[in-house]
Structure 1
Amino acid sequence: MIKLPSNYSTDTICSTFREDRKVCIPSISKRGDTDVKCSGELLFSESFENMDNWNHYVVFRGPHPYREGVAYKTSQANSYIKNQTLHIKVTNSTGETYLDNCSFFSIYKSQTDLICGIRDSKRRKFYKDNIMPPFDSAMLQSKEKFKYCRIDIEAKVAHGDFLLSGMQLATKNDAINIAIVRGHSKLNDTSNNEVGGTRVFVGVLKDSPNSADLKAHMADQFFSNDKHLGKKYHTYSAIWKNDSITFKLNGKTYAVFDHEETMAQIDMHEERYIQLFLTVGGELYYPDSRIHKGGRFLNSNPKIAPIIKSHVKTANWIEPKMSIKSIKVYSTDRNEY
């Protein structure tokens, strides 16, 4: 009888076996418009020597219904490469009231001014005093897109109150959340469950300009870790097929989405980009209906932005950045799990 190392899981054995096989297992994957012949082929590999494979998503995220405390920008202060590692960092706002290279999608037609900013000098003061996010950050999208795949992301998430690290397979209208981690050392929801940085949440997200239609938490599960996930690098994985999504942490499966109602919330047949971001607060991932933060931290509080900024100064962010060492995307097949 072969004795395996104690850190070997069944998932690890199966994955190693699949990768070592020389036979071609028919793939269900696509890279762009091209069918991939065999499962297990490396479709995309990023070790961050440069930013050539990425575009920046540039918008303000302060307006309703998101109410996030950031403007996503193209700035070396907020996204940069050091030692072949991508760092996405939150900094204090530089105060722009208009984004010249704004990423405008048709879903937001009614909110163009709020998402891209204000050019009109007469309206700038109102915008700056009432809506301007107190922080800048970055959201990156891959130039390449994929349809059905396995993705592995080696990352260290941010650590600090109201920081939110996100890794997704996204379209313009929805996303598969590969990993969502809140930065708090400790944070309870309204049912007194721990939802802070020792938990990685996964799920599906249907985006919408109407808060009633946002479905960030309608279908999510989580993995519980002993220590804050921002203390070291972990590998976050998802296997996306046409009828299921399997989620793993460090090679170990902890969630499988295969319920028809859950899958119907997003378009399972549309090609997806890799999306990486770091934000601060907001109704999407810190909803008033779910996260217990105390009355003054409610997203509906018109003074929430300066309150969070003041809180951050006294609470001290331990690490206000998400760092990503590598990303690998492989073709998959109907039987991989």
Structure 2
Amino acid sequence: MYLFSTKQQAPTGATTAAQPGNAGNDTEGHRLSTISQNPFRTPPFATPIPSIRSGRPISTATSLNNGQPRRRFQSSRLNGEMEKPWLHSAKKSMNWDSIIFYTAVSVALMISAYICYDAVKDVPKNDYCLIMDDKFENLDNWSHEVQMNGFGTGSFDWTTDDAANSYVDSDGLHIVPTLTTQSTDITYGQLMNGYTVNLTTDGTCTDRDQRTSELVTSNPCSAVSNSTKGTMINPVRSARLTTAGKKTIRYGRVQVEAKLPAGDWLWPAIWMMPQDNVYGDWPRSGEIDICESRGNDAETYPLGSNIVSSAMHWGTTYSNDAYQKSYGEWGAKRTKYSDGFHTYGLEWSSKYMFTWLDGRLRQVVYFDFTKNKNMWTYGEFAYDTVNGTAPTDPWSWTGRANSPFDQDFYLILNVAVGSTNGYFPDGVGNKPWTDGSESPMKDFYLANSTWLPTWGSGDSRGMVVKSVKMWQEGSC
């Protein structure tokens, strides 16, 4: 037990409650006497505390409110009813901000609805009859074109009906380029000098060359190797399949699902040519390119496998082909069309023609025949001369604005190799030949160590076509 002193020292000048003459300070005296009687009770304010404002000690007998009771906190919230004079006003102000906003929104919606309606009402609602749905269980719908002169493009491949260059399996149709020395008995020495291939003698040449041009400088059915002249047997064999004489359309739709080939200087194409040259040799009777591309890797070649193009070819001679007036291309930033399957399509009528990629909304080329009097005036051929001679109009006599694209066309699938017509521009991507060289095919072949490894091997080489559909416009 601890002992506490019960005697407290009074402040100087002050008297204790026990002393006479202190009757006016009963409260103070009573508190101190109580404390003296119970030393274990700690009195409030027994220790002087500083003044809140001045910092000076205050007496234990002095309250924080100078002895007055603390005032209760009064809320500043309005009590009772609040006057709202605007509710009793006879004239209310207009909210112009809301009126302008909602009016503008309503007008925008009406304009948008009209634009959609105007666009949809003009969309053709043609009937179509499916005439071919080929998933390549066989090649009954197709024929091979066998030639050696590049079909007017100056390409270096020899198109064959060899099973090494075209075959079907569970993936579809494969069109595969191979080296001639690997798929025939022709040796390297024979390829370069002193050997003749005659497809007429073999009975295999199809000789359906519709591209009569300055580039057709050799016989489509034969080739001769001569080291002195710089000529050689075509160093690569490939394939070109067509539906000519079997499946044609005059207006309608085409849809081809294919994986394009990878490899330097490969030229895959999905395109159409006229069944009959009603208006004359190429390009008078027209050509429709649904899809063309280059196999060169897009990461190293600026015109490579990430670009597909479409075009319509028409003109009076090779030199005034007006395809640039109806040409378009689609370039992808993160897609190589040799990496997977894509769908390439055509829709064609007497009023319009357009090609598309992976959907009708992604159009590559759109051509409206109704916006021009005819293809002669649109091509402005009357202002050109060919070898000093004005060309003659081959189409206007029909009275149709879309001639020559008013005849039956058949479909072609092929993989060409190289060319001398400018499709692979000189000086781009370390091209190993020049179009004007005296021996472009030889220059190309001697650089095979640079391009052959890029072609792949086995079933991964070449173009793979999974399916082909063709519709004729009109009911079945």
Interval containing the TM-score (normalised by the shorter chain):
0.7 to 0.9
The CA distance in 2 between the partners of 1:97 and 1:215, in whole Å, is 36
CA contact (8 A) 1:169 1:175 kept: yes
Q: Which position in structure 1 is the counterpart of 2:319?
A: 212
Structure 1 residues 137-161: Cα deviation after superposition (integer angstroms, max 9, x where no partner): 1111112111101111000001111
- 1:97 and 1:128 in contact (8 A); partners too: no
> Structure 1 residues 261, 51: closer, same or farther in 2, change over 3 A?
farther
Alignment of 1:1-337 (within 5 A): 27=126, 39-62=127-150, 66-83=153-170, 85-93=172-180, 94=184, 95=186, 97-99=197-199, 100-105=203-208, 108=212, 114-117=219-222, 125=226, 130-142=231-243, 143-171=246-274, 173=282, 174-186=286-298, 194-206=302-314, 212-213=319-320, 217=324, 219-225=326-332, 226-251=334-359, 252-254=361-363, 255-258=365-368, 260=372, 267-284=404-421, 286=423, 288=425, 292-293=428-429, 296-315=432-451, 316-319=453-456, 320-332=461-473
Q: Give the whole-Å Cα distance in 2 for the aligned partners of 1:169 and 1:44.
A: 15
Shift of 1:317: 2.0
Given the superposition, is the C-alpha separation of residues 280 and 127 from structure 1 closer, same or farther in structure 2, using an over 3 Å criterion?
Answer: farther
Structure 1 or 2: more strand by fraction: 1
SS in 1 for 2:255: strand
Give the CA RMSD over aligned residues: 3.5
Tell me the SS of whatever aligns to 2:362.
Answer: strand
Counterpart amino acid of 2:242?
A: Q
SS at match of 2:444: helix
Single out whichever of 256-265 and 301-310 deviates more from structure 2: 256-265
In the other structure, the counterpart of 1:31 is: none
Which residue pairs with 1:36 in the alignment? none
Does the 8 Å CA contact 1:243/1:263 hold for their aligned counterparts? no
Aligned letter for 2:147?
Answer: V
Aligned mates of 1:221, 1:41 — CA distance in 2? 28
Q: Aligned letter for 2:330?
A: F
CA distance in 2, matches of 1:177, 1:325: 19
Q: Which has the higher contact order (CA 8 A, sep 6+)?
A: 1
Structure 1: which 5+ runs fail to align?
Answer: 1-9, 19-24, 28-38
Instruction: Note closer, same or farther for the CA distance 1:227–1:312 as it changes in structure 2 (3 Å cut).
Output: farther
Q: 1:213 Cα shift?
A: 4.5
- 1:83, distance to aligned residue in structure 2 (A): 0.9
Equivalent position SS for 2:296: coil
Shift of 1:248: 1.2
SS at match of 1:60: coil
Q: For residues 41-64 of structure 1, give each alpha carbon's deviation from its aligned partner in whole angstroms, at most 9, with x where no partner exists.
A: 32211010111111111111348x
Q: Secondary structure at the match of 1:76?
A: coil
User: In 2, distance between residues paired with 1:261 and 1:306?
Assistant: 47
Name the SS of the counterpart of 1:308 in structure 2.
helix
How does the TM-score come out when normalised to structure 1? 0.74
Q: Deviations over 1:277-307 (max 9, x none)?
A: 1001113462547x73557521112232233
| d(CA) in 1 for partners of 2:469, 2:455 | 28
Please identify, of 84-93 and 244-253, the stretch whose mean Cα deviation from structure 2 is larger: 244-253
SS of match in other structure, 2:338: helix
3-state SS, counterpart of residue 273 of structure 1: strand
Structure 1 157/49 Cα, relative in aligned 2: closer, same or farther at 3 Å?
same
Q: Distance in 1 between matches of 2:324 and 2:176?
A: 25
Q: Structure 1 residues 138 and 128, CA, compared in 2 at 3 Å: closer, same or farther? A: farther
- Where structure 2 has 5 or more consecutive residues not aligned to the other structure, the ranges are 1-115, 187-195, 380-402
Instruction: Give the count of matched residue pairs.
Output: 290
Q: Secondary structure at the match of 1:74?
A: coil
Percent of residue pairs bearing the same amino acid type:
21
Of the structure 1 ranges 251-260 and 271-280, higher mean CA displacement relative to structure 2 is found in 251-260
How far off is 1:247 after superposition? 1.4
> Whole-Å Cα distance in 2 between the matches of residues 126 and 307 of structure 1?
12
TM-score by length of 2: 0.54
Q: 1:168 to 1:106 in 2, by over 3 A?
A: closer
Q: 1:101 to 1:202 in 2, by over 3 A?
A: same
Deviation at residue 197 of structure 1 after TM alignment: 0.9
The change in CA–CA distance for 1:217 and 1:117 in structure 2 (over 3 A counts) is farther
Cα distance, 1:238–1:106 mapped onto 2, change above 3 Å: closer
CA distance in 2, matches of 1:262, 1:158: 37
Q: Take 2:470 and 2:344, find their aligned partners in 1: how far apart are those partners?
A: 12
Q: Could you tell me whether the CA contact under 8 Å between 2:165 and 2:176 is conserved in 1?
A: yes
Larger CA deviation: 197-206 vs 159-168: 197-206
Q: Is the 8 A contact 1:243 1:268 kept in 2?
A: no
Letter of the 1:227 partner, please give it: T
